[in-house]
Structure 1
Amino acid sequence: MVTVEDVRQLALTLPRTTEHFIHGRVKFRVKQIVYVSFSRDGSLMGFGFPKDERAALVESEPDKFQLPRESDLRFHWVVARMDALDLEEMTELVTDAWAMVVPKFLVREHFAELPDHE
C-alpha cells in the first residue's frame, strides 16, 4: 500500500513542486495549479488526468479509480484509492499529473536527468 509519505518523497523531487496543507488536506502543486491532493484521512488521492481518458480509466478498474465529486468534474481530475495502488503505479500517476502542469521542456529535462532513462 502506498502512503502520503511515499507520494511526498516523489513529488518533492519534481521540479517546481511545492507542498501545501489547505483545509486539512495535503496538496502538491506547481505555482497555483494543484496536480495531486489527498482526502483528509489520506485514503484517497486525487490527481491530474486527461478528461477525455478518465471514464475509460475508471471503468477499467472501478475498485481502484473513481470520478471526482461533481463540482470537480470540470477539471482534469481522477481519484484513486491509496490502498489499491502500488509504488510503481503511483509513481506513474503522480509523474504524469505533474507533467500536465509544467512546461514540456521541463518534462524533457527532468526525464533526461534520471539515471535509468534511455
Structure 2
Amino acid sequence: MIGRVKFAEFRRLCLDQPEAEELETWGEATFRVRGRIFAMGAPEGSLVSVKASLDDQAGLVAMDPKTFAVSAYTGRFGWVSVRLSRLRPPLAEKLVKNAWERTAPRRLVRKPGAERPGRRTAGR
C-alpha cells in the first residue's frame, strides 16, 4: 500500500515548484509564487488547502468527500481543503502542481525547466 502524505512531504512538493516560497501568514504556512498564494496549511494540522478551478473542486469533492471539501472563505474561488491522512503522494503532487500553475505568471508556467526550486522565508 502506498503511504499517505504528511505535512513535511506536502511542504516539499510546494517548495519544489519554481520560484515558490513559504511564508507564515495567519498562523499557517502559505506557499507562494511571486507573492501569490497557491497552497496553505498548518504543520501540526490535518488539513491543507490548494487552489483549484471550480470544476476541479466540484469533481474532487464528488469523487471523495471524506478527503476533499470546499474550503471555508476561499471555496467560492475554487479552493479545496484536503485531508492529508487520506491523500496519496501521486495525487498530492498533481494537486500542488495544478495549484502552482493556476497561480504562477503565464511566462513562468511556459518556461521549460522553469527557474529554481522554492525556499522558505521568515514570516511577516
The TM-score bracket by the shorter chain reads 0.7 to 0.9
9-18 vs 90-99, which moves further:
9-18
The whole-number CA distance in structure 1 between the counterparts of 2:25 and 2:103 is 19
Counterpart code for 1:28: F
CA contact (8 A) 1:24 1:40 kept: no
The answer for unaligned runs of 5 or more in structure 1 is: 112-118
Provide the residue aligned with 1:65 in structure 2: 68
Provide the residue aligned with 1:6 in structure 2: 9
Provide the residue aligned with 2:23 in structure 1: 20
- Provide TM-score, normalisation by structure 1: 0.82
CA RMSD in angstroms, aligned pairs only: 1.8
Q: Secondary structure at the match of 1:90?
A: helix
- Provide TM-score, normalisation by structure 2: 0.78
Q: How many residues align?
A: 110
> Identity over aligned residues, as a percent?
30
CA contact (8 A) 1:19 1:26 kept: yes
Moved over 4 A (4+): none
Higher relative contact order (CA 8 A, sep 6+): 2
Task: Write out per-residue CA displacement over residues 12-65 of structure 1, whole angstroms, 9 at most, x where no aligned residue.
Answer: 221121101123211101123211111463210100110133122201111110
CA contact (8 A) 1:36 1:46 kept: yes
Q: Secondary structure at the match of 1:110?
A: coil
Provide the residue aligned with 1:106 in structure 2: 108
101-110 vs 9-18, which moves further:
101-110
The answer for unaligned runs of 5 or more in structure 2 is: 115-124
CA contact (8 A) 2:70 2:78 kept: no
> Residue 92 of structure 1: which of 91, 94, 114 is its match?
94
